[in-house]
Structure 1
Amino acid sequence: MNDLAITALLVLSLFVILGSGVWIGLTLSGVAWIGMQLFSARPAGDAMAVTIWGAASSWTLTALPLFIWMGEILFRTRLSQDMFKGLAPWVQGLPGRLLHTNVIGCTIFAAVSGSSAATCATIGKMTLPELQRRGYPEAMTVGTLAGASTLGLLIPPSIIMIVYGVMAEVSISRLFIAGVFPGLLLAVLFSGYIMVWALRHPEQIPRSTERLSLAQKIAATRSLLPVVLLIAGVLGSIYVGIATATEAAAVGVVGALLLSALQGSLDWRSFRDALMGATRLYCMIALILAGAAFLTLSMGYIGLPRHLAAWIASLGLSQAQLIAALAVFYIVLGCFLDGISMVVLTMGVLMPTVQAAGIDPIWFGIFVVLVVEMAQITPPVGFNLFVLQGMTGRELTWIARVTLPMFALMALGLTLIYLFPGFVTWLPRQMMAG
């Protein structure tokens, strides 16, 4: 049986098992077992036990449940609500005014969350009702929130960066630092789009009725201080080199608990709900990672990654053509799979090809995260679209349509980091030099 037939059989098995309603992690393990059983001499059961244990007991993965827990604590306490109060006074003078709270709020919350769905839900709960009450156009409030909330994946700490770092065997701390400038670049593009749109449609932006003095603005900013301190503690400890990504995650959890306790918004119920929410989400991700590790091993024994790399090399693609092909591949894949599944399914196969093409694995990690962000707002399996559908009651097609300009801005951001790779690589190099 040739490689194409084996690949077709395994892909068909994947979709059949997924279509029958089996969990993604178990599906990946099942496809890997089929591959090893039929096309490899190694006993599949023994390989599955060893690989899944190795994947589940990785020390690097410890950062993942901790960052998820930190995001859950913030999601359920008053810290997130205080952000809106601190931001609103400062954007009144910009074209588009309070629409910028979506972008800035998501940028700040992304730096303490790590999940785009959590960022979308948290900021949306604060901004959507308030902006609707004040008469802002729903298409812009929903569209900008959908786009900006994807920053939860790119601005560190990011769950998907941890997954990529484990799969590609690169430094998670360097990945975190590499995501800072591209994340801010996207935030600037989103805010720039809001300003241009507002200047072209001034009649759709409600007039401001409140005039705040500088002293009042500064007083309102005190609400932002707890979250800013938390971000400084997490990212600062990584950047100055006193903590690894895992230790910084522990700093984040302790900081979130202390701040919410000091504010009086932490009680036994919110603590328990945050812990259980983080546990459920991490168990799902850990099962996917374990299944993907077994699938990667299975593919290695069958020889598919090696043959695929050789086939791509034989096409004679330039680096730019390879990047463009991979961008299209991930965007199409994102129409059917969630981001974590996309990364764990493809890294084992693609990393040898990427390295052979001379692409920096840190830069490629940010590229992958950015393309996965784009997939978060593409139907039919755009997670952020589902979150917004639940919050607004609107049709998925309408939400996807109003989000299209954000998708185009992400494509522009992708082009910019390719043309100017220093956006991604400069800060990690400074960290290494330091």
Structure 2
Amino acid sequence: MNIELTEAGLLLLGVLFAFLGLGVWIGIALMLTGFCGIVVLPMLFPAFNEFPVEKVLGTSVWQAMASWTLAALPLFIWMGEILFRTRLSEDMFRGLAPWVQRLPGRLMHVNVIGCGIFAAVSGSSAATCATIGKMSLPALLSRGYHRKMAIGSLAGSGTLGLLIPPSIVMIVYGVAAEVSIVRLFIAGVIPGLMLIMLFSGYIALWSVLNPSLTPERDPPTSWRAKLEASSSLIPIILLILGVIGSIYGGIATATEAAVMGVAGALILSAWGGTLTRESFVASLMGAVRLSCMINFILAGAAFLTQAMAYSRIPVAMAQWVGEQGFHPYVIIAALTALYILLGCFIDGVSMIVLTVSVALPIIQAAGFDLLWFGIFIVLVVEMAQITPPVGFNLFVLQGLTGENIFRVAAATAPFFLLMCIAVALVTVFPGIATWLPSTMFSS
């Protein structure tokens, strides 16, 4: 790789981390780094051409923001915010508890299944963890379930909010990488179910190996009682079928399905008696704040990506990686380690927008499918949600339990290892992610 390009790349990387280290907002840090790439690099290196920075900034930000696909992002966020303020967690615990009593691990499976269900209407890992945790964790601890296992299973299962569609992170990746959001949503189904089975399987195995740490099952209930308890799940299941089913059936785009989801969430909230003026305004403002933050980061990333493209650094890095003859698995292992390291310091959305402009040319040069890479990157971002010191799910559980964040992280360690296994399986068997969308779109 050209020495000047190497020096320029290291300089931009140093500038970016200097801004982040100073506490500059990520969106502004990205824009300032892009400004350095457009204005400063031509001053320092003769090989770089000068470009009008105002035109590059205007066109890149406009192209990133003027996207119909991106309109789904605030709507799905709002849907999750509305449901977060309902009695959904109580309904889930009451509806699921009778069905898991006979499984090894018993009510701890409610964490996994409940998070999987809420993930299908939330798209947010932190919201999934908080919504399920505020009901299930006190109920489990009051019944004598192992505290460390209850916390760990909730933290790990909360990450399903990123993988099971509709996923906010998938939308961000799809916009940044120009990959179909619908195909990404479909591709996340089988890996999401696989992760649910890994988590529940581990809970069952742990319970079998530690029978003294699992309380006795509740008195048996009749089928009629189970069905009556499960009737509280019908509204949320209908909402899931309406939103996700309309996407998979080709009836609606992701954005149109998001509109349906918001309408359905408002109806559920009104029907449950939790839709008040205060809750409506709180959910709307929560969605606005998070959407603005993500869009600001995307705008900064778009400008930096354009600056990097003019500097030819990503292409040069991809060519250099190709010339080294690295095995594709070595590249994936290096990227996994990089994302886990980044997850110790920044959130998942920022991880994606910071790295996608450099990672995508390398991934394409190595022969990987961008759809598959979207699922891979969501999995490793999930892992970042439970890595200290800034894993979002760890903060959520710290607030729920009052535990030290590192004790929460220690309780989550087995589920982090299960995610590592999931990444390995998706890498070795890419069809886990690509088979369903290729089958549905080829028919």
TM-score relative to the length of structure 2 = 0.96
The residue type paired with residue 248 of structure 1 is: A
Counterpart position of 1:89? 98
In the TM superposition, residue 251 of structure 1 has moved relative to its aligned partner by 1.1
Moved more, 215-224 or 356-365: 356-365
The residue aligned with 1:118 is: 127
Give the SS at the match of 2:437: helix
Whole-Å separation in 2 of the counterparts to 1:9 and 1:418: 32
1:145-184 deviation line (CA, Å, top 9, x unaligned): 1111001000000001001111111110000000001001
Instruction: Determine whether 1:327 maps to 2:347.
Output: no
Match of 2:56 in 1: 47
Shifted more, 45-54 versus 30-39: the winner is: 45-54
Alignment-derived partner of residue 362 in structure 2: 353
CA contact (8 A) 1:51 1:293 kept: yes
Would you say the 8 A contact 1:74–1:80 is kept in 2? no
**1:67 touches 1:114 (CA, 8 Å); kept in 2?**
yes
Q: Which moved more, 1:314-323 or 1:90-99?
A: 314-323
Task: Give 1:80 shift.
Answer: 3.4
- TM-superposed CA distance for 1:43, in Å, is 2.2
State the one-letter code of the partner of 1:18.
Answer: L
**Distance between the aligned counterparts of 1:107 and 1:187, measured in 2?**
7
CA distance in 1, matches of 2:427, 2:14: 34
From 18, 21, 45, the counterpart of 1:19? 21
Measure, in 2, the Cα distance between the counterparts of 1:292 and 1:266.
Answer: 37
1:261 shift after superposition: 1.5
Residue aligned with 2:135, SS: helix
Distance 1:67 1:76 in 2: 15
**One-letter identity of the residue aligned with 1:37:** V
Q: Determine whether 1:380 maps to 2:389.
A: yes
Whole-Å separation in 2 of the counterparts to 1:209 and 1:81? 18
Moved more, 207-216 or 369-378: 207-216
Residue 424 of structure 1 aligns with an amino acid whose one-letter code is: A
* Contact 2:31 2:303 (8 Å CA) reproduced: yes
| Letter matched to residue 20 of structure 2 | L
Which runs of structure 2 are paired with 1:227-376 in the superposition (5 Å)?
227-376=236-385
**1:213, CA displacement in angstroms?**
0.9
Partners of 2:362 and 2:17 lie apart in 1 by: 25
Question: Which letter maps to 1:349?
Answer: V
Displacement of 1:265 in angstroms is: 2.1
CA distance in 1, matches of 2:165, 2:102: 29
Contact 1:79 1:226 in 2 (8 A): no
| Partner SS state of residue 411, structure 2 | helix
Matching residue's letter, 1:252: G
Question: Per-residue CA shift, 1:277-316, capped at 9, x if unaligned?
Answer: 0001101101000000001001111111011111111110
Is the aligned partner of 1:155 residue 2:157?
no
SS of match in other structure, 1:2? helix
- The 8 Å contact of residues 119 and 152 in structure 1, kept in 2 or not, is answered as yes
**Residue pair 1:77, 1:270 contacting (<8 A) in 2 also:** no
Give the match for residue 408 of structure 2. Answer: 399
Amino acid aligned to 1:118: A
Moved more, 276-285 or 387-396: 387-396
Q: In the alignment, which residue of structure 1 is the partner of 2:185?
A: 176
Cα-to-partner distance string for 1:98-126 (whole Å, 9 max, x where unaligned): 11111001000000000101111111111
Q: Is 1:35 aligned to 2:37, yes or no? A: yes
Find the aligned partners of 1:209 and 1:23 in 2 and give their Cα distance. Answer: 50
CA shift for structure 1 position 193: 0.4
Deviation at 1:12, TM superposition (A): 2.0
Counterpart contact for 1:77–1:260, Cα < 8 Å: yes
Query: Does 2:414 correspond to 1:412?
Result: no
Contact between 1:14 and 1:28, CA under 8 Å: does it hold in 2?
yes
Give the CA RMSD over aligned residues: 1.2
Q: Which moved more, 1:110-119 or 1:53-62?
A: 53-62
Distance 2:91 2:279 in 1: 17
Match of residue 111 from structure 2: 102
**406-415 or 320-329: bigger deviation:** 320-329
Deviation at 1:198, TM superposition (A): 0.5
Percentage of identical aligned residues: 59
Q: How many residue pairs end up in the alignment? A: 434
1:116–1:384 CA contact under 8 A, matched in 2: yes
Whether the 8 Å contact between 2:111 and 2:136 is mirrored in structure 1 is yes
The 8 Å contact of residues 101 and 218 in structure 2, kept in 1 or not, is answered as: no
Separation (CA, whole Å) in 1 of partners of 2:326 and 2:291: 38
